[in-house]
Structure 1
Amino acid sequence: MTTVESEFQFSFGAKGSVCRLTVPVSIPMSVSVGDLVGRLVNAHNLPCYVEKDLHNALEKFISEETTKYHDDNAADLISKIEDGSIDIGQMADKWNTAFTQEHKSYATAKQSNDEVAFGEVYHQLIHSAALDTLLNLDHSYAAAVEEIITHRDMDLTKLQKRQREKMEDAVKRLGTTYTDEQVNLLAAKHFEDTQVKMYTIEYSHGAGWERHVHSCTIIAFYCAQMKTMHNLRLMCVDVLDLCRHKTLIVGNSIVPSPQRLQTAMSLYSNSISGLVLLVDDRINSYTGIKLDFAGVCQLSTDFHFPDLDTQLRVIQQHVLEANKNRTKKDIQASGSDGENTEASKVESVTDMAVSPNLQAGDFYITRHSSLAEIHTVFHLVVDENIRSSEISSRHPTIIGLRNVLKCASQHDVLNMTIPLFLVYEMSEEMTIAWCLKRAELVFKCVKGFMMEMTTWGGNDSRTIQFVVPKSISEDLFMQLSSMLPQIFRISSTVNLTRQK
């Protein structure tokens, strides 16, 4: 809204003479009359006894000038409508839009989807008397699924043993009893039998806290920029232990673990727990830690989100589209000899084979309700040179970690678990010097990212857990524990415990 300046005059007697105050006042006013009176008294050193009269005079002046301002605007608009300068139909549409948006009774109600409605209903149920019933049902289903998976693994082990013995016998008698074609057919049959076994178990699965922490350091980090306290935790633990439900036996009965209760109560809250899982560039669950993680997910049916394989299939489709767009941008950024040549290159992207794989620093997200302490998993892509001692804060994985924390900050993921060394297993090149250098890099980068959270829109108190491999020495762990408060400039350690 535009403003105009009007001259306000006020006269008052002082020491036998008449004083006059003249100041410009913006109409319409953006501050209250009381605030403006206070500013005038302080700015012009006015006596206190004129304050009431000044307030009354200024209030009357502003009321009259504001009315005049609106009358002049209305008269100007009417004259424009009369001479055809303004289309009356457009003006009516603007008034209609403004009216329906300002008045709730006329505004169109926002449609809520089934997923949001389900989350709200579940959150209410889990905080009601139905908690025990839901928790016991969830536990009984999980126990049944775990039993199925256990039997599957046992049957698969027996099947693979029989197949191996039969294949070894066939290879020994190759050329006498068996031909090359027969051996190939036998191998194909073994593969088919294994797939049939897996499909049967997976189909039935789809239909239907106690944790040993070797070492733990906890400190509190106060971020002056955010004026909030953050918890930082250093743990020596297998990262997948945070996802596994442990069997809890009371007396002779197996009861639901406390982790299952905690997960259920915070599932649809604004305090979600996330995990950074380091993966390769292929979106599947066939190898390495991806296979182990998929196995953990299979141990309990997820009743809130699609199963892991379904989520990965959807992500793969998005990756293909993203890679296509990324290829177009790379072609445009690389330049060309002419506009037609560039256009033809961009158009040819739709015809060329687009890679289904990701790049180092990319990440994708899966959601889970059946894991022990984790709701959201950020699958961060790393490459082979992650074990190099020369990586810096500009390495794609570090930049990817920043983007993960930014995404978490913007979506209420207040508890994050990060592998401190950016690897899960110790190897020969990971000397003490290597570990300390890598830990210092990650600590400092995460500290910088936390400072950035004010610009990301997140100022809630957060917990960040740094995990290191279980095989590290006690001496190295203590050095890492000492490094943490030094980098985050904490004057004293709040809590230091070691459990065995």
Structure 2
Amino acid sequence: MEQVDKLFQYKFINESHINVNHTLSIPFCSSLEELTHILLLKYNIPIYASKELVKNLDRFVKSSNLQFYDDRTSELVAEFKNQPNIEDITKEWERLIREETAEYGERKCASDEELFATAYHKLVHSPMLETMLQLEYMYAVTVRQRVNEKDYQIKSLSEKQTEEMNNAIDRLEKGMTESEINKLATKHFEDQTFLQVQLTSELETIKEAQRREYREWLMQMLEQNQANSSLPTPKSSPLSPGLPSFVSDVFKTDRKELQSTVLEESFTIHLGSQLKQMHNIRILSADVMDLCAIKDNEQLGETTPQLLQTALGLYSNDLCGLVLMTDTVIGSRLTKEFTEICERSTEFHFPYIEDQLESISNTLQKHQMEPNSARNTNSKHLQPGDVYVTRHSNLAQVHIIFHMVSDDSLRGSDINSRHPVVLGLRNILKTACSNDVTSLTIPLLLQYEMSEEMTVTWCAKRAELVFKCVKGFMIEMASWGGSDLKNLQFLLPQGISSDVFQSLTTMLPSIFKVSNPLILKTSAHIK
């Protein structure tokens, strides 16, 4: 702290007049008794005058210190008042106090989303579960039918336009000009765009109507349950006589089914230095989209166990997550198939996938516009290792999707534990254990398809890197707090050879500590 010099004056009157003039540094924090002794010796003052001298020193020091602190405080207050954003700073502090301190926070009623979540969680754990799932299934059938009609109409128009364009090109030397061909191409583009927008709008209207009807029906069922202590079956329910007509034409998916011979292996491991935690690890070879898409039952109105699993865990402390590799553009072609799966049924709980991706893009754009932002790229572009999260209630085995940005460097064999994508896995595990995600699926090779450069040696090296890094992250995770990652699933590309799969499953017990049963043999000589 800065100090100022101030003169202390004192007169001692006896046979000879003694004038004391001594400069002190204010604020004075030293010992007054020590200073008094120094002044007595310096000015030859008798010892019996020490009490009076101490009294004068104490009065002088107190008044001088008080004046110094008053002046200093006044300067700081004046300097603070001269700041141009004093009102903004005050409002920001007021907002933070309201949001972070419960005592000063605003008393708000539960939002509609919170009320719906509470109602859904209560009814899904009641005898209404089957009715709810079958009603959702019927809604999904309607949406999938309209999606199929949309795809069929767009495909038919494309084929028709392709035939027209081929005929026009064939007549290029028979009177057809390039200008007319350009006009035809422009017309085709406009017709294609108009049809796409029209069909998409119709589909969104149907989804919004379903979402509104489902929410109203659910709240009505909860009110009747509270009033009558019973849950009646609504007339529109699949359990009541007379099913809606559209159920009679159940959509049959054209996605390829899983191979009859599924490659998978499960392990139980223990991790931790002192207090060991048990985890279940599974290695599976499958198409990543098969973990998202809900398979359709050909039986009329029959729901699948996948819907049951998703519904029961939706508002729980045991959420399921999936790491989905993507590129640097939010909502790019690499996520097109995933987006189409999300669009094949109505999302009743969270924003639609397009809205979530748009919100993420807007957030990224705002972040890049900040003065201290290190990013100066386009608002839609991310960097390898970046992760953004979307929430879903209409997928097969997952509630949370961790979209992790990757690049072509993952095709090489020289990546290490400091690679941005590997560090992105650490951030995903940290986010998962902090947000009740207890089951997580990770692409073991950080790839979804086999390619030429992915030799046996390449696969073994990549799997070893991911195994060791994930193990280290899981051990570190124990100190982060939150939920334990109970189930971890490593996903391998579909079509991987059984020999490579077997070599990777053999590698896991050597890296993780696998739990083996202890077999005790009794002695035959026990009496």
The TM-score with structure 1 as length reference comes to: 0.69
Structure 2 counterparts to residues 120-199 of structure 1, below 5 A: 120-174=118-172, 176-199=174-197
Query: Which aligned pairs between 1:4-403 and structure 2 lie closer than 5 A?
Result: 109=107, 111-174=109-172, 176-208=174-206, 214-225=262-273, 227-250=276-299, 253-285=300-332, 287-288=333-334, 290-325=335-370, 328-330=372-374, 354-403=378-427
Q: Flag the structure with more relative contact order, 1 or 2, with Cα contacts below 8 A and sequence separation at least 6.
A: 1
Give the 3 Å change call, closer, same or farther, for CA 170–450 of structure 1 in structure 2: same
| C-alpha spacing 1:166/1:385, structure 2 compared with 1 (3 Å) | same
What SS is found at the alignment partner of 2:451? coil
The CA distance in 2 between the partners of 1:472 and 1:263, in whole Å, is: 28
Whether the aligned pair in 1 keeps the contact of 2:320 and 2:399 (CA below 8 Å) is: yes
State the match for 2:439 in structure 1. 415
After TM superposition, give the deviation of residue 248 of structure 1 in Å: 2.1
Give the % identical residues. 43
Cα shift readout 1:437-459 (whole Å, capped 9, x = no counterpart): 00000011110110111222135
Give the aligned residue type for 2:413. Answer: S
Partner Cα distance (2:355, 2:515) in 1: 48
- 1:118 Cα offset (Å): 2.0
Q: Using the TM superposition, give the Cα deviation of residue 110 of structure 1 relative to its aligned residue in structure 2, in angstroms.
A: 5.7
Residue 393 of structure 1, CA deviation: 0.4
Q: Deviations for 1:404-446, whole angstroms, at most 9, x for unmatched residues?
A: 1111110011111111111111111110000000000001111
CA contact (8 A) 1:205 1:301 kept: no
SS at match of 2:119: helix
Q: How many Å apart are 1:367 and its aligned residue? A: 0.9
Q: 1:345-404: per-residue Cα shift (whole Å, max 9, x none)?
A: xxxx8xxx7543000000111111111111111110001111110000000100111111
- In structure 2, give the amino acid aligned to 1:281: T
Alpha-carbon separation, structure 1, partners of 2:178 and 2:459: 51
Return the offset for 1:330.
3.8
Cα distance in structure 1, aligned partners of 2:281 and 2:365: 37
Larger deviation, residues 440-449 vs 128-137: 128-137
Give the conservation status (yes or no) of the 8 Å contact 2:137–2:301: no
How far the C-alpha of 1:188 sits from its partner, in A, is 2.1
Q: Work out the CA distance in 1 between the residues paired with 2:105 and 2:386.
A: 41
Question: How many residues in Structure 1 have an aligned counterpart in Structure 2?
Answer: 369
- Per the alignment, residue 46 of structure 2 pairs with none
Pairing of 1:430-449 with structure 2 (within 5 A): 430-449=454-473
User: Which of the residues 444, 450, 454 maps onto 1:426?
Assistant: 450
Tell me how far 1:129 sits from its aligned partner.
2.4
Residues 1:491 and 1:272: Cα distance change in structure 2 (over 3 Å): closer
Following superposition, the deviation at residue 204 of structure 1 comes to 2.7
The alpha-carbon deviation at position 113 of structure 1 amounts to 3.1
Q: Distance in 2 between matches of 1:394 and 1:385?
A: 13
Measure, in 1, the Cα distance between the counterparts of 2:382 and 2:459: 27
- Pick closer, same or farther for the CA change 1:463–1:298 going to 2, 3 Å: same
Name the amino acid aligned to 1:328: N
Q: How far is the alpha carbon of 1:479 from its aligned partner? A: 0.6
Aligned counterparts of 1:249 and 1:370: Cα–Cα separation in 2: 19
Matched, 1:465 2:512: no
Spell out, residue by residue over 1:256-280, the C-alpha distance to the aligned partner (whole angstroms, 9 max, x if none): 1111111111111111111111000
**Partner AA of 2:316 in structure 1:** S
Which of 432, 445, 453 aligns to 2:477? It is 453
Say if 2:169 and 2:181, in contact at 8 Å, map to a contact too. Answer: yes
Poorly superposed stretches of 4+, deviation over 4 Å: 106-111, 210-213
**Alignment root-mean-square deviation, CA:** 2.7
| AA matched with 1:162 | K
SS at match of 1:219: strand
- In structure 2, C-alpha distance between the alignment counterparts of 1:189 and 1:365, rounded to whole Å: 39
Q: Report the Cα distance in structure 1 between the residues aligned to 2:517 and 2:508, rounded to whole angstroms.
A: 10
Note the alpha carbon deviations across 1:176-208, whole angstroms, 9 max, x for none.
433323222222222222222222332232232
CA radius of gyration, larger in: 2
Instruction: Measure, in 2, the Cα distance between the counterparts of 1:356 and 1:148.
Output: 30
